[in-house]
Structure 1
Amino acid sequence: MKSVNLQRTESLLMELIPEALATLNDSRIKSLGITEVNCRNGKYDAIVYYDGSDYDKKEHQILNNLLSKANGHIKTYCLNATGWYKCPNFKFQADDKLEKDLKIESLFDKIKKEKKED
């Protein structure tokens, strides 16, 4: 169970990271949708999940590389917006939860069809 303070931090970062990305000149990451922020080790590390449903694995690598290069800019933006003295180290990952959910739903549909046939 996460503390309320940590949940607040994650929520605030969910708002600030897209704002920081919008200030960049690279159109590939400028409007990237952030789906979740998961802080670890207090506020020292954060995994930032972005909507990767429209991209293949090669494009995910490119996006991760671009986002890691923009990490310093994002941290600076967050520090200026919050007044914090330290910002988490961001690690970016594609969010594949939607893809997994769709696979599970299709499996359930398949099971229903098989039960009806029996």
Structure 2
Amino acid sequence: MKSINLQRTESLLLELVPEALSNLSDTRINSLAITAIDCKNGKYDATVYYDGSDYSKQEQQAINTLLAKANGHIKSYCLNATGWYKCPNFKFKADDSLEHNMKIEALFEQIKSKD
């Protein structure tokens, strides 16, 4: 179970990271849908999950590279918006849970139709 402070941090970052991305000029990442943020080690590390269902593995790797390059801008934006002394190190991953859920639902539909 995560502490309330850590959950608040994740919630705030879930608002700030998309705002920071929207300020970028690169159209491949400035409208990227952020689905979740998972903070570890207090506020020192955070994994940012984005909706990767529309992208191939190669495109996801390219997006991860672009996001890694924009990491400094995102951290600066978060620091300015919050007044924090330190901002987490962001790592970016495609969130494929939606795709998995859709596959599971399709399997349930197949099972249901066989009955």
**Fold conserved between structures, TM > 0.5:** yes
Residue 111 of structure 1: aligned partner: 111
Counterparts of 1:35 and 1:102 in 2: how far apart (Å)?
A: 16
Is the partner of 2:37 in helix, strand or coil?
strand
Residue 71 of structure 1: aligned partner: 71
Deviations 1:28-53 (A, max 9, x none): 00111100000011111000000111
TM-score (ref. length: structure 1): 0.95
**Cα drift, residue 107 of structure 1:** 1.1
| Structure showing greater Rg | 1
TM-score (ref. length: structure 2): 0.97
Residue 87 of structure 1: aligned partner: 87
Runs of 4+ with >4 A deviation: none
Counterparts of 1:84 and 1:52 in 2: how far apart (Å)?
A: 30
**Cα drift, residue 103 of structure 1:** 0.6
Q: Name the Cα RMSD after superposition.
A: 0.7
- Name the structure with the higher helix share: 1
Counterparts of 1:113 and 1:31 in 2: how far apart (Å)?
A: 38
Counterparts of 2:106 and 2:82 in 1: how far apart (Å)?
A: 43
Deviations 1:14-34 (A, max 9, x none): 000011001111010011110
Give 5+ residue unaligned stretches, structure 2: none
Residue 47 of structure 1: aligned partner: 47
Residue 20 of structure 2: aligned partner: 20
Give 5+ residue unaligned stretches, structure 1: none
Counterparts of 2:39 and 2:107 in 1: how far apart (Å)?
A: 32
